[in-house]
Amino acid sequence: MSIFTGAAVAIVTPFNEDTTVNYEKLDKLIEYQIENGTDAIVICGTTGEASTLSHEEHIDVIKHCVKTVNKRIPVIAGTGSNSTDTAIYLSKEAEAAGADALLLVTPYYNKATQGGLYVHFKDTADAVNIPCILYNVPSRTGCNILPETAVKLARDVKNIVAIKEATGNISQIAKLIQLADGCIDVYSGNDDQIVPIMSLGGLGVISVLSNVAPKQTHDMCQACLDGDFKKAAKMQLEALPLINSLFSEVNPIPVKKALNLMGFEAGTLRKPLTEMEEAHAIILEENMKEYGIY
């Protein structure tokens, strides 16, 4: 059984001016997502600035999200690391906190071999009892999970059940889905490829766009799940200018700016991320207005 179908939001972590976590605003964002049909929440992922959270903060944010969501939709905790031991530690803590599943990014900087990736993910998944989603994002990690490796992991490790595919390589994703023959669920990791990936058999998206347009992103995925790809394609194309603005600078710089413009008070960013350049911010605001969310 799939962890979720449809749109999961890769939710931001709101910060106060002193960059401590703003739990009150996080609650507000979570409620907004659930009210607008989001199918799952991914906490402490890339968009959640997990790379600058201490281990204690990381675990506390997961615990808080699990408590706030209170089983209304699945909570997927980002617990990946470039250290296998750290990934195991965070994964065990997230499981103990009540997370429904884990999101495990490929080890960054080390650039493991395919054999190294296999051992890393197997050891991490074997240390817990909840489902695990592999996260393939070579643009950030310098490391690519090849289709053969993902399929082998899914067949060999019972709780490796899905992959978030953010390679941007449709040919590779098509090969993965063909080789897997249903043994691993595939989610788009790129908002501009939701419909193409779902047309090949993907089950949804782990989305940045959902932070600011949760209903629209859910509805786009639902149209795909209903087999109405003409409607879904229209929605995908209408969203492209906004999606492009949300990635005009490194994520989550633009999406935090967008949420602040919408009045959600997502706050500042942790260094080395800095505020959005004014020229990009102007275009983002225009595209938000054009899309009808601001």
DSSP 8-59: EEE----B-TTS-B-HHHHHHHHHHHHHTT--EEEESSTTTTGGGS-HHHHH
Give the pLDDT confidence of 90-128 residue by residue, as tens digits: 999 999 999 999 999 999 999 899 999 999 999 999 999
Q: Average pLDDT for residues 14-26, to the nearest whole number?
A: 97
User: Model confidence at 161, in pLDDT bands (50, 70, 90)?
Assistant: very high
The separation between CA 178 and the C-alpha centre of its own chain, rounded to angstroms, equals 23
Q: What are the catalytic residues?
A: 135, 164
Q: Is the pLDDT of residue 1 over 90?
A: no
Average pLDDT value for residue range 253-279: 98
| Domains of the chain, first to last | 6-226 (3.20.20.70)
| AA identity, residue 122 | K
35-84: per-residue pLDDT in tens? 999 999 999 999 999 999 999 999 999 999 999 999 999 999 999 999 99
- Give the amino acid at 65: C
pLDDT at 177: 98
Q: Is the peptide bond before 214 cis (omega within 30 degrees of 0)?
A: no
Looking at residue 6, its pLDDT comes to 98
Question: Which residue stretches of 127-193 are H helix?
Answer: 138-141, 147-156, 170-180
Sheet strands (E) in 37-153: 40-43, 75-78, 101-105, 132-136
CB atoms < 10 A from the CB of 96, how many?
12
Three-state secondary structure of 238-249: HHHHHHHHHCCC
Helix (H, G, I), strand (E, B) or coil at 143: coil
pLDDT at 263: 97
Q: What is the Cα gyration radius of the chain?
A: 18
What does the pLDDT read at residue 276?
98
Beta strands in 202-267 (DSSP E): 204-207
Q: Which pLDDT tens digit goes with each residue over 171-212?
A: 999 999 999 999 999 999 999 999 999 999 999 999 999 999
pLDDT of residue 50: 97
In sequence order, the 6+-apart residues with CB closer than 8 A to the CB of 253 are 269, 273, 274, 275, 276
- Under a CB-based contact definition with an 8 Å cutoff, are residues 76 and 41 in contact? yes
Tokens of 185: 């669920």
How far out from the chain centre does Cα 100 lie? 15
The proportion of the chain whose per-residue pLDDT surpasses 90, expressed as a percent, equals 99
> What is this structure's pTM?
0.98
